[in-house]
Amino acid sequence: MRSYLHKIFVAAFASLVLSACTNNNFADLEAFVEEKKARPGGIIAPIPTFKAYEAFSYSAASQRSPFDRPIEVREIAQLQAISSIKPDETRAKEFLEQYTFDSLSLVGTLERGEIDWSLIRDPEGGVHRVKQGNYLGRNHGKIVDTTDTYIAVIEIVSDGSEDGWVERPRTIKLNGI
């Protein structure tokens, strides 16, 4: 019986506590909300407009990079001044002369002893050492200058006439530059 009285007492106390919460004393909160609603609404600024992106077109891509050292114009002029420009057909062909010039790529350089070597990759994946004075490519290309980033080559190509030959400068740049 005691637990029964205890349950009744707890229920009565809970109802008394809950009845105290039913007091509608929100007058100050309601006044605050009414005051805020009575104010005029503000103006929202429009979303800013952005200028359209205009892509830059680089028009000098086909020209020589300003960071590459140009082939000495004097050397080329001196080589072209020789009246009897023609390839030496009696010279023994070097290994890299069996490939087209465009299929060869410069993959690195090394120094062995006093000689600076350039490393050329052929289209089959082989890597070959070359230095100034070696030949490569099918057009009698002779290496005239080597640096860490490129190889300068002078090719002897036909000018279209029967026995006419001209020299053409070309370069092979280091892969990844």
Predicted confidence (pLDDT) per residue in 151-176, tens digit: 999 999 887 777 778 888 999 998 76
Of the candidates 174, 25, 55, the one whose C-alpha atom is nearest the C-alpha of residue 110 is 174
- Mean pLDDT on 70-92: 67
CATH number of the domain at 88-173, out of 3.40.50.720, 1.20.1300.10, 2.30.30.830, 3.20.20.210? 2.30.30.830
pLDDT tens digit string along 11-55? 887 777 766 655 667 888 888 989 888 888 778 888 888 888 888
Q: Report the C-alpha gap between 94 and 73 in whole angstroms.
A: 27
Reading the block at residue 157, the tokens are 């190509």
Average pLDDT, the chain: 82
Q: What is the model's pLDDT at position 72? A: 60
Q: What is the pTM of this model?
A: 0.53
Give the per-residue SS3 of the chain.
CHHHHHHHHHHHHHHHHHHHCCCCCCHHHHHHHHHHHHCCCCCCCCCCCCCCCCCCCCCCCCCCCCCCCCCCHHHHHHHHHCCCCCCCCCCCCCHHHHCCHHHCEEEEEEEECCEEEEEEECCCCCEEEECCCCEECCCCEEEEEECCCEEEEEEEEECCCCCCEEEEEEEEEECCC
Start-to-end CA span in the chain (Å): 97
